[in-house]
Structure 1
Amino acid sequence: MFRIRTKIGLLIATAVVAAWVLPVGTADAEDPYVPPLATLANAVRTDFPEAVEFHLMYAGVPEPQSVDLEFIVEPIHSCGGGTIHSVRFPGKTTIIWRWEPSEEQAFPPGHTVRWRWKVTGADGSVRMSYPREFVWTDERFEWQSYAKDELTVHWHGQYPEFGEHLVGYLEPQLERIEAIETTRNPVNIFVYDNDDDAGPGAVLQRDDANPYEAFNTVVSVMPEEIEGDELTALIHELAHFIVQDRGFNCFNGLPHWLEEGLAMHAEGGLTSEMRRAFAEARLIEQFIPLRSFDVPFSPNTAETAVQYPHSQDKLVRYAQSYSLVEVLKEEFGWEKIGFLIDLFKYGITVDDALKLAFGIDTEETERLWRLRAGLPELAPNRVSTPGADGG
């Protein structure tokens, strides 16, 4: 899946400025019609993971009325071009401002943030600094990195060959998703050696939400052994990255059962607990209809918890997802599943994508799965109304 292109190096834990940033005091404005702001100091001071301090000192504006700081946090998968933050200050010539990102504003280590300043004078004239950038880096540790094609592992504390060994383990796991040959965007893995240092953004279990999913970044914890729930969660999350990288669009999400089924294939199949839960669900015929499948993986959720109590079990839903993808693989092959994923990037509905790839819609897909799985056909009153899946 990943073409070989390796590099090993030490990540320097400092804020960096792009090579095209002009020397202090001579920065040109981004807009050629806006005069440049003569900066005496224009820098950031990072306090990972708590805050960023922006520092500005400038000259050349006799009566400044206001100063605006603009900075952008831009995920890889974004429909609005990222989040532009704008903060206004009184017309002072020296400004120090500390930004403490909220939980919703969190962004991962290794991400680049760009910023610029705009100063408005008493006469309404505007001067603007040239954009600069810094990398959000956990400066508490000296990081090592190992990259193979688009997959890069960053680690500290473990043995020197850890990154290479981890990539060597992950690669064949991800190659199980034969529908996709490679990723289109870089994927970063930051591996800490304990939970406390990793913080709340770490993905330690399969069910953990990844706050950095849109950035193609995952934070993990592995002391030294490449094993355990953390490794399973990492494989599962990377599979999501690969699928979403191909099918991301700003109109309709990929069906949850498809994403989870492919992620379970990357893991290597169902756990014994999932197989047991799936067998129990077969006995009482309690599987959730596909059009209702994107209800979150949580128990006691409104009407589905009453109508389909057993299908709210996460283990059953993982197993059902895996089984669905397995049937599609046997019926149509990996190549057509890959074509299905590619169709979603155009923003079409689930029904339209299924028809173009397989010649069947959501209900027909479900009927095919139930037939191959040896289940009775779904009763008409158990089929949710069209549109629940965006189709």
Structure 2
Amino acid sequence: MIFSYIKHISSVFILMVFSTIMFLLPTATINASSPPIEVIEFSATSEFPNGIRFKVKATSTSNIESIAVRFKIGLISTGVYEYLSYEPADTVEAELFYSTNTLAGYIPPETIIRYTFEIQDSNQNVYSTEPQDLIYEDARFNWDRVSQDEVTVAFHGPIQSRAETILQVIIDTLKNMGPVLGAETDEPIRVTLYNNQKEMLDALPIGSAAVGRELITEGMAFNEEGSLVVLVGGSMANGTASHEVTHILNHRAGHSIFRRIPSWLHEGLAEYGNIEPGYSYSYALEFAIASDRLLPHLFMQTLPGDPEDIIIFYGQSRSIVEYMIFLEGNEGMRQLLKLHQNGTNMDEALTFVYGMDRLELTNAWRKELGANPYVPPNIAESKPTAVSYPTVEAFTLTPKAGGMTVSDSIDSNNANDIHSTSGSCNSKSNTGADLGVVSMFIFIGVLGSRSFKRRP
């Protein structure tokens, strides 16, 4: 009985203490239905290719001091933080236009932008909106989409069956190359299809668009964002999509903050993963072997500048990747990419996996193809070639010793102009075709192709 009475008194005391504490607490803390800052509306709108427009309308019990937007671009790990413009008050409408039509600020179409707004008032209250996703779609067209797993293909116009084919090509490529590279295939990949070159040019980065007006760009991968664009109007669309999506997988499997994947490995793997490859690279490789024009591609930092050499480079790169997988299988390639990703230089990584550095691997591969070994130039023994400079002669109106008349100069220049238009292996024909490339493909048309069997 006494115990029950004590228990009753204790309960009453606890209730009184709790009521007192609740009474002393600030109203703003317990009244969740009336926060000091309220967001009335907000939005993010794609105005691709120019940029993204962010808008917020908010109110507060005191003046709003700052409104910022925090957003993440695709799969890029770092984010962007920008302040919006507005006139200070307790109720404001703020706006920010984030430009993407520069080379540094470029964002590819269909990239997912995840954003949130942060608002602070003069009483140091802070409010953040829930994260929202914006598809940064090309605002010039009305888009439809087809999806499977983590791959989404955007298209416009009556080409849904074509889009479904591209989608299946990419799914098949991921299934084939995932085990080879050890890359993540469950992260989103966004694809935009353009029906003609004119449409696609304005969707590319500024520098690429300038080049594209001279050369037809079939596709482009944006590795960090996990996006790619494909020109769907041509016959090479399937192969282009397969090649470009493999670049994204290469990046995920082997990208390093210390050094980038070398071009020969990046392009070689992309062509190895291409489920609809063309024949030109194989023919170019045969031509290079027969004419002793193989490039030292494992030692080249970038792609060559000559059109013929670019085709040969791609053929060599695919062939040596086939050879490496023939030697050590998929496990060897996965191990090589992981070592590279962890910062190991290429010679050390190759030696660890294949027992050969770049030079030894190059010559083992050349021997397998029946080509001559590569002998690096001996820089220590090389000597600079003397350059002869022409004697400077004065122009005169009347002939004299050691001088040159104006008429002689004009005749000489005309002769040079005439000579420069004569045909050669590197000149352009009347139709604009490169005679060197034409002659190469006439030669390689009679050759077969060599390849290595894939080893699991």
Q: Quote the residue 1:186 is aligned against.
A: 188
Deviations 1:311-332 (A, max 9, x none): x821011011012112212222
- Preserved CA contact (<8 Å) 2:70 2:116: yes
**Residue 220 of structure 2: SS of its match in structure 1?**
coil
| Structure 1 unpaired stretches of 5+ | 1-27, 29-34, 300-309, 385-391
Deviations 1:202-238 (A, max 9, x none): 6998966736332111122325xxx613332212101
Where does 1:167-316 land on structure 2 (aligned, <5 Å)? 167-172=167-172, 177=177, 179-180=180-181, 183-201=185-203, 210=220, 212-223=222-233, 228-267=235-274, 271-283=278-290, 285-290=292-297, 292-299=299-306, 313-316=309-312
Where does 1:105-120 land on structure 2 (aligned, <5 Å)? 105-107=105-107, 108-119=109-120
Aligned residue-pair number? 330
- Structure 1 residue 357 corresponds to structure 2 residue 353: yes
**Separation (CA, whole Å) in 1 of partners of 2:67 and 2:258:** 33
Q: Quote the residue 2:165 is aligned against.
A: 165
Specify the code of the residue in structure 2 equivalent to 1:187.
Answer: I
Deviations 1:269-323 (A, max 9, x none): 8744434433443355444435532224434xxxxxxxxxx9x821011011012
- Preserved CA contact (<8 Å) 2:221 2:245: no
Deviations 1:122-173 (A, max 9, x none): x7x36343354231234642413131x3333233323554444333344555
**Separation (CA, whole Å) in 2 of partners of 1:84 and 1:238:** 26
- Preserved CA contact (<8 Å) 1:52 1:98: yes
- Pick aligned residue for 2:331 from 311, 314, 335: 335
Relative distance call for 1:91 and 1:351 in structure 2 (3 A) is: farther
**Residue 111 of structure 1: SS of its match in structure 2?**
strand
Relative distance call for 1:37 and 1:49 in structure 2 (3 A) is: farther
**Separation (CA, whole Å) in 2 of partners of 1:245 and 1:318:** 21
**Separation (CA, whole Å) in 2 of partners of 1:269 and 1:287:** 25
- Preserved CA contact (<8 Å) 1:206 1:233: no
Q: Quote the residue 1:31 is aligned against.
A: none
**Separation (CA, whole Å) in 2 of partners of 1:196 and 1:296:** 26
Specify the code of the residue in structure 2 equivalent to 1:115.
Answer: T
Specify the code of the residue in structure 1 equivalent to 2:133.
Answer: F
**Separation (CA, whole Å) in 2 of partners of 1:256 and 1:84:** 30
Greater RCO structure (CA 8 Å; 6+ sep): 1
Q: Quote the residue 1:17 is aligned against.
A: none
Structure 1 residue 88, shift from structure 2 partner? 5.6
Identify which range, 262-271 or 101-110, moves more after superposition. Answer: 262-271
Relative distance call for 1:271 and 1:156 in structure 2 (3 A) is: closer
User: Could you tell me the percent identity over the aligned residues?
Assistant: 18
Question: RMSD of aligned C-alpha atoms?
Answer: 3.6
**Separation (CA, whole Å) in 2 of partners of 1:354 and 1:206:** 36
- Preserved CA contact (<8 Å) 2:253 2:337: yes
**Separation (CA, whole Å) in 2 of partners of 1:197 and 1:271:** 25
Relative distance call for 1:290 and 1:106 in structure 2 (3 A) is: same
**Separation (CA, whole Å) in 2 of partners of 1:197 and 1:111:** 21
Q: Quote the residue 1:94 is aligned against.
A: 93
- Preserved CA contact (<8 Å) 2:218 2:237: no
Specify the code of the residue in structure 2 equivalent to 1:51.
Answer: G
- Structure 1 residue 378 corresponds to structure 2 residue 374: yes
- Preserved CA contact (<8 Å) 1:192 1:222: yes
**Separation (CA, whole Å) in 2 of partners of 1:213 and 1:201:** 16
Relative distance call for 1:268 and 1:133 in structure 2 (3 A) is: closer
TM-score w.r.t. length of structure 2: 0.62
Pick the structure with greater CA Rg. Answer: 2
**Separation (CA, whole Å) in 1 of partners of 2:120 and 2:171:** 50
Specify the code of the residue in structure 2 equivalent to 1:96.
Answer: E
Deviations 1:25-53 (A, max 9, x none): xxx9xxxxxx9742223223333443322
